[in-house]
Chain A
Amino acid sequence: MKIWGIMATLVIIFALAFVFSSYYTVSEREQAVVTSLGKPVKIIVGSMKAGEPDEALTEVQNWLKEKQPSLKVKVICGAGLYFKKPFMDTVHVFDDRLLAYDSAPTDIVTKDKKHLFVDTYARWRILNPLLFLQTVSTENGAQARLDDIIYSVVREELGKSELYEIVRSTNDPILTEETRLLEEVRVGRAKILEEIAKGSREKAKDYGIQIVDVRLRRADLPTENAESIFQRMIAERVRIAMGYRSEGEREAVKIRAETDLQANVIRTNAYREAERVKGQGDSEALKTYAEAYQKNPEFFQLWRTLDSYDKAFLKGSTKVVMPIQGSNFNKFLLSPR
């Protein structure tokens, strides 16, 4: 009887396994390929969120029609609960989401023979899971394939461009009034990135991979070149600093010269004005004198001459020989009559 117990347990276990193996779920984050004994029978793609909702569906259907017309595969769009033949069918689950690709920084040479360390990243998704399964089969395989594709496209596109085309995007850069950029940008970084994305997209299609975006996350100069850039930056700053200082000197000299000139003008004008005023005083005085003295010129003569005697004859400086009788003043020295 115990055997029956064991048998029963085993049957239960088998039944459970049967049940669990007859269904599977595909979440919103997943897509799947169902193979029956190795042959693909069903593809479940996610409903596309980026782009048209049925993009993946139509893409896979078209691909099947063109490239694999003999395959009888059912293509379904959407997540949820699905059923399969237990034990016989295998479900290969793939991520339906945007996946990351990141390369290590690589050295590329630009058209003008300059070296650049570029660090590219890409965002991709598995668009055609069956093709993906057939070609690279795992994400690791995909990463290796993407390495090749992206590296070669990046190298090619960047090798076609000069360094400044890779760094800059437009002819309308953000500048201060002092800086002026000289070279005209004909292509620019944005367009180059588009070309890279376009080129990689084409090549990745062969693996059922859709490359959504490729970008240069970093693009730096190698250390030796960085050194020479630093030297140039320093020299430029030195030049600018000198410019400021000499402009200051120039301005200061100008201000001083103008100041001296202005001061001179002020003084000269004042002197002229002062002389004029003094002249006014003189002429006014002379007029006053003349008006007065003209009233009696003869008396004026006496008056004035006496006054000037007072000023002309100073102590002890003049010898005078004078008559006694002949002078009205002296004559009284001899007698009162």
Chain B
Amino acid sequence: MTGQRNMRPFDPNELAASLRFLPKLLWLIPIFLLLRIMFSIYYQVEPSEQGIVTRFGKYARSTGPGFHFKIPWPIENVETPSITEVRRIEVGFRTIGQGSPAQYEKMQKESQMLTGDENIVLSEFIVQYKISDAKDFLFNARDPETAVRDAAEAAHRQVVGDAGIDAVLTSGKTEIQSKTKDLLQTIIDKYKMGIQIVAIQLQDVYPPKQVEAAFKDVASAREDMAKTVNVARGYQSEVIPRAEGEAAKLIAEASGYRAERISTAVGDADRFLQVLAEYEKSPDITKDRLYIESMTKIYPRLDKILIEDSKEGILKYLDLAAPAATRAAAEPVVQPQQPQQPAARPQQQQK
């Protein structure tokens, strides 16, 4: 090869000289190893954890919370997964800002799915799970959380695929949640990962943006329907009472009429009976009295023409027209009640 450096001949002295440093460095390795062994002789298991000890890679024992000793590395090794912590997987969205209010990012590919009636809907949910068996969780699956996520998506889609879109958006949510949880647990149990599904919680379930307006309009239509019916009921609650009011008035008026009629009749009859009693005591006088009283009232109103008895029986000519009209206009309309001398026409005696 070209470009080689000058190769010096092998000089064992130099090699020995440089090797003298090696021992000093080499001592570091056993020191590190010793330290590591020392620190691996004990371990602590937190209250929410379980200790899984393996010896040469093989499972040896499980330990509970507290301070424990073990055979140091490299013989025994310990892992302490948290078994009471409830872990959380977000499907269809991600929380990108903690705090309140939290901020979310929608993951449409994860949340979009087909319903049983071949509609498209977006469904976001949370999977809560925890470790039920620490051994299985540690040793049986390479990536348990991803397995849960994949199975959750598949399970949810299978359940939603067996539902109608109206149920998915409204009344079926509880059933979908529980069916998804059951199916997911069945799948996870098959994988023997020592995981227990705590809950499935639906977050946002909504129709795609392209059809959002039409869906909102259905809600508006339902409102409109209720409103229209309400207006009609308002009409009903106005008209019926009004009619009943009129009805009551009619009947009340009729009752009033009846009462008046009866009382008038009773009054008239009473008056008649009183006069009758008087009449029966002295008939002629009463008759005359009544007659004269009556005529006193009536005569002033009459347009009278008084004629002397004539043996001939021929009606003498009188001008009846114009004078009567003039007189009617001149005299007052209200007739005074005291007896007056009848304003008789001056008699025209024609002999």
Q: Does B165 contact A (CB under 8 A)?
A: yes
Scan B19-31; emit 1 where CB is below 8 A from any A CB, else 0: 1001000000000
Instruction: List 17 contacting pairs A-B, 8 Å CB cutoff, sorted by A.
Output: A27-B58, A29-B142, A97-B142, A123-B141, A167-B116, A176-B167, A179-B117, A216-B154, A219-B157, A221-B120, A230-B208, A241-B220, A276-B254, A285-B262, A295-B276, A314-B301, A323-B306
Scan A296-321; emit 1 where CB is below 8 A from any B CB, else 0: 10011011001101100111111111
- Please tell me if the beta carbons of B218 and A241 are within 8 angstroms of each other in the complex: yes
- Please tell me if the beta carbons of B190 and A213 are within 8 angstroms of each other in the complex: yes
Provide the residues of chain A in CB contact with B211, threshold 8 Å: 230, 233-234, 237
Q: Does B44 contact A (CB under 8 A)?
A: no
- Please tell me if the beta carbons of A179 and B164 are within 8 angstroms of each other in the complex: yes
Give the segment of A56-64, A143-151, A252-260 that binds chain B: A252-260
Cα–Cα, bound, A163→B115 (Å): 12
Q: Which residue of B lies closest to A262 (CB)?
A: B240
Provide the residues of chain B in CB contact with A169, threshold 8 Å: 158, 161-162
Q: Which of B168, B224, B232, B266 has a CB less than 8 Å from the CB of A256? A: B232
- Please tell me if the beta carbons of B217 and A256 are within 8 angstroms of each other in the complex: no
Shortest distance between the CB of A124 and any CB in chain B (Å): 11
- Please tell me if the beta carbons of B229 and A248 are within 8 angstroms of each other in the complex: yes
Shortest distance between the CB of A15 and any CB in chain B (Å): 15
- Please tell me if the beta carbons of A300 and B229 are within 8 angstroms of each other in the complex: no
Q: Which residue of A lies closest to B347 (CB)?
A: A324
Most buried by A among B228, B266, B333: B228
Give the segment of B1-9, B124-132, B242-250 that binds chain A: B242-250
Q: Does B196 contact A (CB under 8 A)?
A: no
Q: Which of A80, A284, A316 has a CB less than 8 Å from the CB of B331? A: A316
Shortest distance between the CB of B80 and any CB in chain A (Å): 16
- Please tell me if the beta carbons of B240 and A263 are within 8 angstroms of each other in the complex: yes
- Please tell me if the beta carbons of B150 and A121 are within 8 angstroms of each other in the complex: yes
Cα–Cα, bound, A231→B115 (Å): 16
Q: Does B38 contact A (CB under 8 A)?
A: no
- Please tell me if the beta carbons of A306 and B109 are within 8 angstroms of each other in the complex: no
Provide the residues of chain A in CB contact with B150, threshold 8 Å: 100, 102, 121, 215, 217
Provide the residues of chain B in CB contact with A289, threshold 8 Å: 265, 268-269
Shortest distance between the CB of A90 and any CB in chain B (Å): 18
Give the segment of A34-42, A198-206, A326-334 that binds chain B: A326-334
- The B interface is mostly helix, strand or loop, or mixed, namely helix
Number of A residues whose C-beta is below 8 Å from B?
A: 127
Q: Does B309 contact A (CB under 8 A)?
A: yes
- Please tell me if the beta carbons of B292 and A252 are within 8 angstroms of each other in the complex: no
Scan B40-65; emit 1 where CB is below 8 A from any A CB, else 0: 00000000000000111111000000
Provide the residues of chain B in CB contact with A22, threshold 8 Å: none
Of residues 139 to 165 in B, which have CB atoms within 8 Å of A's CB atoms? Answer: 139-143, 146-147, 150-151, 153-154, 157-159, 161-165
Cα–Cα, bound, A326→B308 (Å): 9
Provide the residues of chain B in CB contact with A6, threshold 8 Å: 15-16, 19
Q: Does A137 contact B (CB under 8 A)?
A: no
- Please tell me if the beta carbons of B147 and A98 are within 8 angstroms of each other in the complex: yes
Cα–Cα, bound, A245→B162 (Å): 30
- Please tell me if the beta carbons of A175 and B164 are within 8 angstroms of each other in the complex: yes
Shortest distance between the CB of A314 and any CB in chain B (Å): 6
Provide the residues of chain B in CB contact with A314, threshold 8 Å: 301
Given contacts A27-B58, A28-B139, A324-B306, contact A189 B161 (CB under 8 A): yes
Given contacts A175-B167, A303-B275, contact A79 B57 (CB under 8 A): yes
Q: Does B191 contact A (CB under 8 A)?
A: yes
Q: Does A49 contact B (CB under 8 A)?
A: yes
